[in-house]
Amino acid sequence: MNKFFRLIAILLLGAAFLPACSKSSDKDKPLIVACEVSTSPYCYYSRHQDNPVAGVDIDLIEEIAKELGRPIKYKIVPFQQIFTLVSMGKADIGAAGITITPERSERVLFSTVYDVSAQRIVVPKNSAITDESTLKNARVAAQEGTSDLTLLRERIKPRAVLPFLTQEEVNTALVDRRADAAVMDQMQAELLVESTGDSFKILEKPLSKDQYGLVFNKKDTALAETANKVIDKLKLSGEISEKRTKHLGVIGVLGTGAKEKNDVKPFVLCVEASFAPFVFVDADHHIVGVDIEMAEAIAAELKRPLQVRVVPFREVLPLVMSGAADMGASGISITPERSQMVLFSDSYEDGLRRILVREDATFEKVEDLAGSIIGAKKGTTNEEFAVKTLRARVRHYDNATPAIIALMNKEIDAFIDDEGEADLAAGKYVDRVKMLNLAIPAEQYGFAFQNGNTATKAAADKVIAAKRANGDLQALFRKYNTRYKAIEANGI
C-alpha cells in the first residue's frame, strides 16, 4: 500500500509540473509569419541573407517576438494567401501593410490599428487636374502592390495606369512628366513635395483613408493581446512613426536608390515568386529557381548587379513595358499577343499544361469541361485557355495553393496549371485530386524585355544557348524540381 501511494504521489507531482514544462517549450516554438513583400514601407524584400524581409511590419513583429521570447520564421507568400494561412492556423501572424476591412475581419482577427494613411493625389503645381474626376483623362502612376494601384484600376479608371516597382520610380516618372499625376500615401506625398520645393502640390481632398493592422487566427486572442500591448507602447513613444520614416528613407524619394556602387545601374528582374521550378521561395525564405540563376548569368554577362523585385504575375509584363524592370521572368509563355507588347528571348523551356480535377471526377475529354467552373492563375495563358477554348466560367487565383484547396472543397470543378505544379499537387493530394490525361498544346517559355531592348535580349540568348549546349540548363531544372519537392515533402 505504501508503495502504491508513493507511486500516486510521484505521478501527481509530475502532473503538477506538466503545464510549466509545456509553457517553457512554447518559447522555442517559432512564430510563423506569412507576409507579402511588395508593400513598402510596411513589408518589402530585402534580399538580406540573415533576414530576407524588412519594413515597419517586420520591426513590429520582431518586438512582439522579443516580448514573447520566441524566434520568428517567415513565409513569403502572395497577398491573398496570407489570410488563408492565418485562418487555417498554418501561420501565427499575417503582415503586409494590411488594410482593416469588415470583410477581412470576418476571416481573421486584427490587431489594434498601428498606422493610418490617406491616399493622396500629387500633381505638378500648374496642373489642370483638381480632383478625382479630372484624373479620368490622365496618365497616373502608382506603386505596384499597393492599395493606390487597386484604387486606380477599380474605381478611378484613368486613361492610363502606370505601375512602378518602387515609390522612387513613381516619383521620378512624375518629375520627368512621364506621368500627369501620381497616387500615393500621405507621408510619401509630403516627402516628395518637400524634396522638390514648389514644383508639386497635394490635392486637398484625400481619395480614401486606410487603417493598418496585423492579422491573427480568430482563436489566438492571447497572441493578439500581446501584439496590441507592444503596438500601443510603440505608438505612445512615437517609435512607429520613426520606423516608417526609416523605411521610407531606405526606399528613397528621388534617385537615392537608383544606382549601386561605382555608378553601375542594377539589372532589375521582376518576378512572381510562386512558380516552381522557375521562381519560388526556398526553406530559408530566399527567392530561388531556374529563372533566378539564369538572370544572375545574364546580369553577369551585362556586367551589372542583379536586383530582384517580387510582384503579382499580372504586373510582370506591364512593368517591363514601362521600363521599370529590365527583365520579366516566372516561366512566362511566349504568345503572339504578348510578343506585340514585349520583346522575348529565345525559348529556354517547353512547358506542358495539365488539368487537375477531384479524384471522383468523370471528365473524359476537354469538351466535357464546357460550362464547368475552372480555376486558373490571373494573367496566365491557362486563364486564357479556360475562357477562349473551354468557354468555362473562370475563377481567378494569385497562385496554385488556394485554387487546389478550392478544388478539394468543391468550389471549382477543375484547375488548369503548368505540368510541374500540377504533378506536385497530384502527388501531394493523391487520394483527393488527379491529373486528366487530356492533351493541351505545349508552350514555350522565355524572358521578357522592353520592346527595342535588343542588346539585353542578345545577352540573354547568348546565355541560354551556352547553358543549353553544356547541359547546365537541364541540370538547373533537375536541381530545382528536386529542391521544391523536398520543400513540399517537409510541409514548408
- Over residues 478-484, mean pLDDT: 79
Most confident residue range from 113-122, 256-265, 304-313: 113-122
Most confident residue range from 32-36, 198-202, 260-264, 291-295: 291-295
* Pairing verdict, β 215-216 and 349-351: unpaired
Q: What is the per-residue pLDDT for 218?
A: 95
Higher per-residue pLDDT: 312 or 20: 312
Instruction: Inform me whether the pLDDT recorded for 408 exceeds 70.
Output: yes
Pair 374, 416: CB distance under 8 Å: yes
Instruction: Inform me whether the pLDDT recorded for 439 exceeds 70.
Output: no
Angle CA 121–125–127, to nearest 5: 70
Cell representation of residue 379:
494573367
Angle CA 267–268–271, to nearest 5: 135
Tell me the C-alpha distance between 222 and 230, whole Å.
13
Q: What is the per-residue pLDDT for 250?
A: 58
- The CA–CA distances, whole Å, from 409 to 89, 109, 405, 416, 433 equal 17, 23, 6, 16, 11
Q: What is the per-residue pLDDT for 144?
A: 72
Torsion angles phi and psi, residue 208, rounded to 5: -165, 170
- Over residues 264-286, mean pLDDT: 82
Tell me the C-alpha distance between 75 and 93, whole Å.
10
142 pairs with which residues across the strands? 163
Q: What is the per-residue pLDDT for 269?
A: 93
Q: What is the per-residue pLDDT for 6?
A: 47
Q: What is the per-residue pLDDT for 226?
A: 96
Pair 459, 391: CB distance under 8 Å: no
* Pairing verdict, β 343-344 and 443-449: antiparallel
Contacts of 236 (CB under 8 A, 6+ apart): none
- Over residues 339-367, mean pLDDT: 87
- Over residues 373-383, mean pLDDT: 81
Hey, what domains does the chain have and what are their CATH numbers? 31-114+213-251 (3.40.190.10), 116-210 (3.40.190.10), 261-349+444-489 (3.40.190.10), 353-441 (3.40.190.10)
Tell me the C-alpha distance between 121 and 207, whole Å.
7
Q: What is the per-residue pLDDT for 394?
A: 85
Pair 320, 342: CB distance under 8 Å: yes
Instruction: Inform me whether the pLDDT recorded for 118 exceeds 90.
Output: no
Is the sign of the CA dihedral 450, 454, 459, 462 positive or negative? positive
Q: What is the per-residue pLDDT for 487?
A: 58
Q: What is the per-residue pLDDT for 17?
A: 40
Most confident residue range from 36-45, 345-354, 418-427: 345-354
For residue range 157-170, what is the model confidence (pLDDT) as tens digits? 999 998 887 677 78
Q: What is the per-residue pLDDT for 223?
A: 96
Q: What is the per-residue pLDDT for 380?
A: 77
Tell me the C-alpha distance between 435 and 356, whole Å.
5
Please state the pTM of the whole predicted model.
Answer: 0.56
Q: What is the per-residue pLDDT for 314?
A: 77
- Angle between helix axes 472-489 and 290-301 (nearest 10 degrees) is 140
- 145: pLDDT confidence band, cut at 50, 70 and 90? low
- What is the average pLDDT score of the chain? 82
Q: What is the per-residue pLDDT for 441?
A: 72
Q: What is the per-residue pLDDT for 5?
A: 42
Instruction: Inform me whether the pLDDT recorded for 479 exceeds 50.
Output: yes
Higher per-residue pLDDT: 280 or 49: 280
Pair 272, 310: CB distance under 8 Å: yes
* Pairing verdict, β 200-202 and 280-281: unpaired
For residue range 52-93, what is the model confidence (pLDDT) as tens digits? 788 899 999 999 999 999 999 888 876 778 898 999 999 999
**Residue for grid cell 513589408:** 43
Which of 71-85, 93-107, 458-472 shows the lowest per-residue confidence on average (mean pLDDT)? Answer: 71-85
Is 421 buried (19+), middle (13-18) or exposed (0-12) by CB count in 10 A?
A: buried
Question: In the chain, what percentage of residues exceed pLDDT 70?
Answer: 86
Torsion angles phi and psi, residue 211, rounded to 5: -115, 135
Tell me the C-alpha distance between 47 and 261, whole Å.
17
Pair 383, 377: CB distance under 8 Å: yes
Q: What is the per-residue pLDDT for 256?
A: 36
Instruction: Inform me whether the pLDDT recorded for 490 exceeds 60.
Output: no
**Residue for grid cell 519560388:** 280
- 376: pLDDT confidence band, cut at 50, 70 and 90? confident
Q: Convert the chain into a string of H (helix), E (strand) and C (coil).
A: CHHHHHHHHHHHHHHHHHHHHHHHHHCCCCEEEEECCEECCCEEECCCCCCCEECHHHHHHHHHHHHHCCCEEEEECCHHHHHHHHHCCCCCEEECCCECCHHHHCCCEECCCCEEEEEEEEEECCCCCCCHHHHCCCEEEEECCCHHHHHHHHHHCCCEEEEECCHHHHHHHHHCCCCCEEEEEHHHHHHHHHHCCCCEEECCCCCEEEEECCEECCCCHHHHHHHHHHHHHHHHHCHHHHHHHHHHHHHCCCCCCCCCHHHCCCEEEEECCCECCCEEECCCCCEECHHHHHHHHHHHHCCCCEEEEECCHHHHHHHHHCCCCCEEEEEEECCHHHHHHCEECCCCEEECEEEEEECCCCCCCHHHHCCCEEEEECCCHHHHHHHHCCCCEEEEECCHHHHHHHHHCCCCCEEEEEHHHHHHHHHHCCCCEEECCCCCCCEEEEEEECCCCHHHHHHHHHHHHHHHHCCHHHHHHHHHHHHHHHHHHCCC
For residue range 9-66, what is the model confidence (pLDDT) as tens digits? 444 444 444 444 434 456 678 999 998 876 777 887 775 556 778 889 999 999 999 9
Pair 317, 328: CB distance under 8 Å: yes
Tell me the C-alpha distance between 146 and 19, whole Å.
44
Question: In the chain, what percentage of residues exceed pLDDT 90?
Answer: 37
